[in-house]
Amino acid sequence: MRLPAVLAVAGVVTLGLPASAVAAPAGQCANPSGTYTGEVPWGQRLVDPARLWPLTRGEGQLVAVIGTGVDGQNTQFAPGQLEGGAGTERSDCDGRGTIAAGIVGAQPDASTTFAGVAPGAHLLPIRYTEGSGSSTAGDGAGDPGALAGAIDKAVDRHASVVLIAVPAAFDSPALSGAVARARSEGAVVVSAASATQQGARSYPTATAGVLSVGSVNPAGEPVQTEAGDYVGVAAPGAELVSTSAGAGGAVAHRWPVTDPGLAAAYVAGVAALVRAYHPDLTGDQVVTRLELTAHRPGSGGHDPRLGWGVLDAYAAVSSTLPADVAPPGAVPAPGSAPAVVPAAAPARPASDVAAGTIALAGVALAAAAGVTVAAVRRARRRNWRPSRFTP
């Protein structure tokens, strides 16, 4: 697998704390591990959002975080960043929604090395499950009918990215219909492959048109059980750091967290960056761009757990792609050009491109004029007699 060197460096500074589950134990609410001050978390180094912030921080994008709610008292979310109104939940006993929201959009803060992918984006916290039960898809997976209603709320609020932080164990006509409506409205629907039993599927992860996300550890190895031809890309899902519920008005974090479901939060954050930088793209075109620019698995093709490879945020935002480029795996048209043209630097404004074209044309005309003048002078010196040499 052609991955950045960060994946070859094992681990993250955990300050001696034991690995913790994501969901709070039954009858208890999530509590922070503290304020994280270790080295930049490996998942953040892999995605490297700060490299893209001069281009875009996700401004103008609304990311719906659908799951267990988001704790609005964690002050690493900016004032007003969490949208309110009917159907939103600014509390989160379970904790998974707050962790996912932090990965998407937590603000850079001097007290910590952790920051979210798209701090310019607004977040819409929607709770559809308390996360206290269990199912074949994973602990705390919710009811598909309730999840469908949550997606509809996100579409009604014009969310450009819909992150399913807690997928459901089963599909339903209502859920597939809600996904279809979201896509028709131009939203990118992102859901993690988080089923915990062999052969099981989570939903809408396995629904057509959803950007389905696998997860990797610092070594670049897949960590989730769920697999299938519907998995699109992979992202960090083990030994993570993020914002914690139960912060009580402070900057507080939970670490180290291993949960394949959280890989989708990294992808949702990058989707927000792509949408902000390429506002004319449809939701489906954003999905295609993320899949085409991913770091391919070792086989070079699709992997049932890694999809088309590990997320490459910089390439996803800055690469030049044809408007009608086909998704990976599609049969290319005869004579078609390469799909991805990596950009070494941010794209120049159209006015700069036009000016450069005019300048090159001027140089070419000047060169041609110089050749013509030289030829005329030689001919005059020979009294216009032909040269001894013929072409």
Q: In degrees rounded to 5, what are phi and psi of residue 214? A: -90, 175
| CA dist list (Å): 61 to 44, 160, 188, 275 | 20, 6, 11, 7
- The token duo for 243 is 């914002």
pLDDT of residue 25: 59
Q: Quick one: angle between helices 263-277 and 283-292, nearest 10?
A: 110
Range 322-336 average pLDDT: 68
pLDDT of residue 23: 59
**Spatial CB neighbours of 124, under 8 Å, sequence gap ≥ 6:** 62, 63, 64, 65, 82, 83, 88, 154, 157, 159
Torsion angle, CA of 329/331/334/336, rounded to 10 degrees? -30
What pTM was computed for the model? 0.81
pLDDT of residue 130: 85
Mean pLDDT estimate for the chain: 83
| CA dist list (Å): 382 to 260, 346, 371, 373 | 82, 54, 17, 15
pLDDT of residue 241: 98
Per cent of the chain over pLDDT 70 is 75
Q: Quick one: angle between helices 96-105 and 263-277, nearest 10?
A: 30
Distance between CA atoms of residues 348 and 358, nearest Å: 15
pLDDT (tens digit, 9 = 90+) per residue, 288-313? Answer: 999 999 999 988 999 999 999 999 99
Range 95-100 average pLDDT: 97
DSSP at 299: T
Q: Rg of the Cα trace of the chain?
A: 25
pLDDT (tens digit, 9 = 90+) per residue, 22-77? Answer: 556 556 899 999 999 999 999 999 999 999 999 999 999 999 999 999 999 999 99
210 pLDDT more than 70: yes
388 pLDDT more than 50: no
pLDDT of residue 28: 85
| CA dist list (Å): 165 to 38, 116, 189, 253, 377 | 26, 15, 11, 18, 77
Q: Which residues, listed in sequence order, are joined to residue 243 by a DSSP beta bridge?
A: 253
140 pLDDT more than 70: no
155 pLDDT more than 90: yes
Scanning the structure block, which residue is given the tokens 């994280």?
A: 36
Amino acid at 218: P
Instruction: Note the helical H segments in the chain.
Output: 42-47, 96-105, 144-156, 173-184, 263-277, 283-292, 313-318, 350-381
pLDDT (tens digit, 9 = 90+) per residue, 337-367? Answer: 445 555 544 443 443 334 333 333 443 444 4
pLDDT of residue 334: 45
pLDDT (tens digit, 9 = 90+) per residue, 226-275? Answer: 999 999 999 999 999 999 999 999 999 999 999 999 999 999 999 999 99
pLDDT (tens digit, 9 = 90+) per residue, 164-180? Answer: 999 999 999 999 999 99
